[in-house]
Structure 1
Amino acid sequence: MAATPTRERIAHPDTSALDLATIMRAAGDPVRLEIVRQLGDGREHLCGELSQALGIPASTGSYHLKLLREAGITRTRAEGTQRLISLRAEDLDARFPGLVGVLTAS
Structure 2
Amino acid sequence: MTSPAVSSRALPHPERGEIRLEGVLHALSDPGRLRIVRELAAADGELSCSHFDLPVTKSTTTHHFRVLRALDDLFPGLLDTLLDAAARQAVRVGSG
After TM superposition, the score normalised by the length of structure 1 is 0.54
Of all paired residues, the percent bearing the same amino acid is 32
Cα RMSD, aligned residues only: 2.5
Number of equivalenced pairs? 76
Bigger relative contact order, structure 1 or 2 (CA pairs below 8 A, ≥6 apart): 1
SS in 2 for 1:104: helix
Q: Of the candidates 25, 40, 48, which is equivalent to residue 46 of structure 1?
A: 48
Gaps of 5+ in 1: 1-7, 75-87
Q: Of the candidates 62, 66, 72, which is equivalent to residue 93 of structure 1?
A: 72
After TM superposition, the score normalised by the length of structure 2 is 0.59
Partners in 2 of 1:16 and 1:39 — Cα distance?
25
Partners in 2 of 1:25 and 1:44 — Cα distance?
25
Gaps of 5+ in 2: 1-8, 88-96
Aligned residue number for residue 21 of structure 1: 22
Partners in 1 of 2:16 and 2:44 — Cα distance?
18
Q: Which has the higher helix share?
A: 2
SS in 2 for 1:9: coil
Partners in 1 of 2:49 and 2:73 — Cα distance?
26
Q: Which has the higher strand share?
A: 1
Partners in 2 of 1:14 and 1:42 — Cα distance?
29
Partners in 1 of 2:31 and 2:50 — Cα distance?
18
Partners in 2 of 1:9 and 1:30 — Cα distance?
25
CA distance 1:101–1:12, shift in 2 (3 Å)? same
